[in-house]
Structure 1
Amino acid sequence: MGEFDLIARYFTRPVRRNPLGVGDDCALLQPAPGMQLAVSTDLLVEGRHFLSTVDPRALGHKALAVNLSDLAACGAQPLAFTLSLALPQVDEAWLAGFAEGLFALADAHDCELVGGDTTRGPLAINITVFGEVPAGQALLRSGARAGDDVWVSGTLGDARLALEAFRGTLSLPQAVFAAARERLERPVPRVALGLALRGIASAAIDVSDGLLGDLGHVLRRSGVGATLEAGRAGELLAALADGLDLDAERCEDLVFAGGDDYELAFTASPRHRSAVEAAAAQAGTRVTRIGSITPETGLRLVDAQGQPVSRRFAGFDHFA
């Protein structure tokens, strides 16, 4: 099977938002009047971002989910995406599964594939996603203000828990491992929550490289600091609800520095607490208030008594 046969069989579908369809040198997208385009791109490389044994359907899902998570963090509605795919060989069963997982999530968010590229090489997946947001209403990293609450959506640390099980650093009950693996391989982009938080949240970011590392980007862009309650870690790790016995330090490592969660961390004024909870209910997503923004720069963890936690946590860094 040649390159263009591959594209035609697995990745060519009718599209509405690009009048040219798939096959021209460029896609043409026109945002609605009064809207801005939100654009994000992510590259996934085998052995770095995913295991060679991952189910291709799950990989197709995750490849798009991590990009949709970026749109969610900006409060943007998904529109379309492009796909660039490097393949070591043509494996039709793998391609069918990958496309199935990819398009199932794309259809759920009415997000169309409008172009891309294929080549031979080590397995790598690059997606660029396009969304739209009313002009001036995008959620940014630079809007946090002293006194704001710090919130996170969903649960944290479960994806890293699955990764540690794959690495053999801990053993998990089968049911816990299955649930954690689902979080690692099929993250749920919080698009509905991001849309509902427009006009409520002051800043937002998606949690991909660990909560503390990602929240640090918000603090630097906003010129503020934060104090977080370390004791909330146990509430945020879903696996603990299944009876998993972990010591406090391991739990904190998973929650604060685990990565691959693709939840939203965001800030909002305390006067918007009821609005945040209403937005979360509307989106069908749990949210937890874990701390507050401070005028002093830097990020501090405190225990239940308000005393500083001296441990250091490092977020994921590809080149560290």
Structure 2
Amino acid sequence: MRVPTGEALLVSTDVLVSDRHFPAATSPFDVGYKALAVNLSDLAAMGARPLGVTLGLALPNVDPVWLEAFAAGFYTLAAEHAVRLVGGDTVKSPQLTLAVTVMGRANPAQILRRSSAQPGDWIAVTGTVGDAGLGLCSILEPNSDPASLSPADLTFLHSRLNRPSPRLTEGHRLAEFAHAAIDISDGLLQDLQHILTASGVGAVIEQAKIPLSPAAQAWFQADPTAQVLPLSAGDDYELLFTLKPQDWPQVDFPATVIGRIEAEPGLRVLDAEGQPLSLLPHGFDHFSPNRTSQP
């Protein structure tokens, strides 16, 4: 594995634990797919192109049928993005645990960072937000989804949870003009706060502008109390980024402006009436005693 001359090598590692980052009942195909997807999403957030990946797999037991399905999911996404598995290890463990390390390449002058947001920047997000969180709610609490939600809507929400799409093409494009970026893994507000802290700035977000899928809109129409979920639910793996307003015409993929960067530190979220929310929800805490991947 070689990095082209003049480009930088970027490395990212994620650990996924059963019943912490995905429900134990998740299909092995989806576990394999998601294990790679969440790591490729980290490369997307840096504007990098993938080179290779290593996989560490800790298993309670060796089940050939499970392993075959897991490998099928992993290699399905790897083939889609031309990523080679270049190494790894296996070990017996009481709990299913995966450690994935991805390596990518990027122009050193165009690496997207969390620390480059500037006052006056627009804040935008790719795709739609909150789908994975709703999908998880419907799995962990089967009676939580509204009766009016169609089977197709539920299938969509579950696919967004179990098979996220790493926004590699969008990330590489953003590297040409965006200031800062991060992928939404732990919740929109929590991940935005990482940018604000690293950049030494503040932000204001308009809740009504957060992009929602038709499935999420149908859920919130039946249960308005759940509308705060897109602010905190993780696992969407969309890209949250900042850019100069004049650079917005260069965004040639689905994305939505949801706020702006301010010089004064702090994070404000405005409701549909333009009033600040008094209590902001928290994102995923990796050390919380709560199970699985949502707050």
TM-score interval, smaller chain:
over 0.9
Secondary structure of the 1:130 match is strand
Task: Tell me the amino acid that sits aligned with residue 158 of structure 1.
Answer: D
Give 1:40's aligned residue: 12
TM-score (normalizing by structure 1): 0.85
Structure 1 unaligned blocks of 5 or more: 1-16, 18-29, 281-285
Secondary structure of the 1:116 match is strand
Secondary structure of the 1:201 match is coil
* Rg (Cα) greater in structure: 1
CA positional deviation for 1:313: 1.1
Give 1:297's aligned residue: 265
What does residue range 193-272 of structure 1 map to in structure 2 within 5 Å?
193-233=170-210, 235-242=211-218, 245-252=221-228, 254-272=229-247
CA positional deviation for 1:232: 2.1
CA contact (8 A) 1:188 1:262 kept: yes
CA contact (8 A) 2:179 2:242 kept: yes
- Return the alpha-carbon distance in structure 2 between the equivalents of residues 165 and 105 of structure 1: 25
CA contact (8 A) 1:230 1:309 kept: no
1:314 aligns with 2:290: no
Give 1:142's aligned residue: 115
What does residue range 81-96 of structure 1 map to in structure 2 within 5 Å?
81-96=53-68
- Return the alpha-carbon distance in structure 1 between the equivalents of residues 130 and 164 of structure 2: 12
Secondary structure of the 1:192 match is helix
What does residue range 128-207 of structure 1 map to in structure 2 within 5 Å?
128-168=101-141, 170-172=144-146, 173=149, 174-207=151-184
For the structure 1 residues 171 and 241, does the alpha-carbon distance in structure 2 shift closer, same or farther, using more than 3 Å as the test? closer
RMSD over aligned CA atoms reads 1.4
- Return the alpha-carbon distance in structure 2 between the equivalents of residues 248 and 205 of structure 1: 28
CA positional deviation for 1:312: 1.6
Secondary structure of the 1:132 match is strand
Q: Which has the higher contact order (CA 8 A, sep 6+)?
A: 2
Count, aligned residues: 283
Structure 2 unaligned blocks of 5 or more: 289-295
Compare 241-250 and 35-44 and name the one that shifted more.
Answer: 241-250
TM-score (normalizing by structure 2): 0.92
- Return the alpha-carbon distance in structure 2 between the equivalents of residues 46 and 306 of structure 1: 40
**1:116 pairs with one of 69, 88, 93:** 88
Task: Tell me the amino acid that sits aligned with residue 14 of structure 2.
Answer: D
Identical counterparts, % of pairs: 47
